[in-house]
């Protein structure tokens, strides 16, 4: 898929550094969805979607509508210059969930979601730069991508748009993607994809924590664990020559309070595992219909033949020591003793587990308890 490059070669020379075009990355093409099915998804309540319409003569020249849409919204559209985008399609179409397994050379926690866009002729979202790495896979149709390396600040954007579009764009490279081709873009590269005729594009998007958000989330977590009734105290206050001075002794106490923030490795590492696997605010894991005991679990397993990892849950683990592996699932932590530690790489390394695989796993002590807990959480499910 990387055009003859090894994963290590890709990471060393391209990842977060420069674009890579791979012709025929998917030699058979890749199209698990038709434009009609995509439009159907964009009409569903629980699906996140957008319709972006460019009208150069209008003010503003770009319009953005958010789904869910009604069928009539699509019937009113012109022949060209619009695109509909469906976010997190891996949650709704299993083939897109499985597509992510082609990218396991990048850690789970860096993966964000799969998005699919359908564009009418000339449709696109305008020239822009993203903060994240993305692999753009061309589905049916053709799209012309133009790339540029100019700086992008708020001052370079068309003002007043609900969309980040550059006011002026100097393209330095241009590629025409055909079905099955793939373009990798690191963060910050300006890109504009314009459909040549109707085109479907699949984006496998990555994420990286924003430094300010990371620090503020850690701080918030520390604060939540602190005693809110503890105050600065100075029963040892001496008489001061001038009341205006903040004394060295007072500053020492203040520094002590600030430094009491837990900044040790274990506090940070354990917080991060939960934080980065947590479900997005306002989103929830779909709860299983029934609580299972061992026997029902085995029955359902043989009935369905497979157990799947939910796309609503992120799985990651940390090997803390020879005796402790921490499995993080959807913000929850499962400490695994050496006997069960094999379960962490196994559960995190794939999305689908066959019956044979699970039955072999269940031979080992503690496995059933963990699988039942994850099922109960909604992180594992039996597919229809």
**Interface positions with ligand SIN (CB under 6 A):** 83, 117, 124-125, 130, 191, 193, 201, 203
Residues 20, 183 contacting (CB under 8 angstroms):
yes
**Least distance CB 205 / ligand SIN (angstroms):** 8
The 10 Å Cβ neighbour count of residue 55 is: 13
- Residue 87 contact among Co ion, ligand SIN, none, beta carbon within 5 to 8 Å by kind: none
C-beta nearest to Co ion: residue: 130
Cα angle for residues 329, 332, 336 (degrees, 5° grid): 75
**Least distance CB 28 / ligand SIN (angstroms):** 21
Select 112 or 130, whichever has its Cβ closest to Co ion.
Answer: 130
Phi and psi angles of residue 118, each rounded to the nearest 5 degrees, phi first: -115, 130
Residues 100, 32 contacting (CB under 8 angstroms):
no
C-beta nearest to ligand SIN: residue: 117
- Residue 83 contact among ligand SIN, Co ion, none, beta carbon within 5 to 8 Å by kind: ligand SIN
Select 125 or 377, whichever has its Cβ closest to ligand SIN.
Answer: 125
DSSP code at position 3: T
Residue 130 touching Co ion (CB under 5 A): yes
Residue at token pair 């060295």? 248
**Least distance CB 128 / ligand SIN (angstroms):** 7
Select 10 or 82, whichever has its Cβ closest to ligand SIN.
Answer: 82
Select 129 or 329, whichever has its Cβ closest to ligand SIN.
Answer: 129
Which strands sit side by side in the sheet containing 352-354, from one edge to the other?
352-354, 306-309, 380-381
Rounded Cα distance, 21 and 2, in Å: 9
Local structure of 94: helix, strand or coil = helix
- Residue 341 contact among Co ion, ligand SIN, none, beta carbon within 5 to 8 Å by kind: none
Region of 64-72, 101-109, 124-132, 357-365 interacting with Co ion (CB under 5 A): 124-132
**Least distance CB 326 / Co ion (angstroms):** 34
- Residue 203 contact among Co ion, ligand SIN, none, beta carbon within 5 to 8 Å by kind: ligand SIN
- Torsion-angle region of 7 (φ positive above 0: left; ψ -120 to 50: alpha; else: beta): alpha
**Least distance CB 97 / Co ion (angstroms):** 22
Residues 195, 141 contacting (CB under 8 angstroms):
yes
Which strands sit side by side in the sheet containing 20-22, from one edge to the other?
20-22, 182-185, 134-138, 199-206, 111-119, 82-86, 49-54, 62-66
Q: β-pairing, 315-321 with 324-329?
A: antiparallel
**Least distance CB 35 / Co ion (angstroms):** 20
**Least distance CB 193 / ligand SIN (angstroms):** 5
**Contact positions vs Co ion (CB under 5 A):** 130
């Amino acid at each position: 898929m990387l055009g003859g490059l090894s994963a290590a070669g890709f990471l060393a020379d391209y990842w977060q550094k420069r674009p890579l075009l791979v012709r025929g990355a998917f030699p058979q093409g890749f199209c698990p969805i038709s434009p009609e099915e995509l439009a159907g998804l964009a009409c569903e309540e629980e699906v996140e979607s957008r319709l972006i319409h460019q009208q150069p003569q209008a003010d503003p020249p770009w319009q953005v509508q958010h789904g869910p849409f009604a069928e009539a919204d699509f019937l009113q559209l012109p022949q060209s210059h619009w695109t509909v985008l469906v976010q997190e399609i891996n949650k709704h179409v299993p083939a897109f969930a499985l597509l992510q397994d082609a990218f396991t050379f990048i850690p789970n926690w860096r993966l964000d979601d799969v998005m699919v866009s359908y564009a009418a002729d000339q449709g696109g979202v305008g020239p822009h730069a993203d903060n994240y790495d993305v692999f753009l896979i061309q589905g049916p149709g053709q799209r012309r991508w133009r790339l540029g390396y100019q700086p992008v600040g708020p001052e370079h954007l068309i003002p007043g748009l609900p969309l980040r579009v550059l006011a002026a764009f100097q393209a330095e490279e241009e590629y025409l993607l055909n079905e099955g081709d793939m373009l990798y873009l690191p963060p910050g590269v300006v890109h504009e994809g314009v459909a040549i005729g109707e085109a479907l594009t699949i984006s496998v998007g990555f994420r990286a924590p924003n430094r300010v958000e990371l620090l503020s989330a850690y701080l918030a977590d520390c604060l939540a664990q602190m005693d809110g009734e503890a105050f600065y105290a100075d029963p040892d206050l001496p008489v001061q020559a001038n009341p205006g001075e903040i004394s060295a002794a007072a500053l020492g106490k203040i520094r002590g309070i600030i430094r009491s923030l837990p900044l040790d490795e274990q506090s940070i590492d354990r917080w991060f595992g939960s934080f980065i696997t947590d479900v997005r605010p306002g989103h929830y894991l779909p709860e299983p219909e029934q609580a299972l005991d061992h026997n029902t679990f085995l029955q359902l397993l043989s009935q369905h033949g497979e157990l799947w990892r939910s796309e609503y849950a992120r799985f990651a683990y940390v090997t803390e020591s020879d005796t402790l592996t921490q499995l993080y699932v959807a913000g929850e932590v499962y400490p695994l003793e050496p006997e069960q530690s094999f379960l962490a790489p196994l559960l995190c390394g794939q999305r689908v587990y066959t019956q044979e695989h699970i039955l072999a796993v269940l031979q080992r002590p503690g496995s059933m308890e963990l699988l039942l807990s994850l099922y109960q959480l909604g992180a594992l499910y039996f597919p229809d």
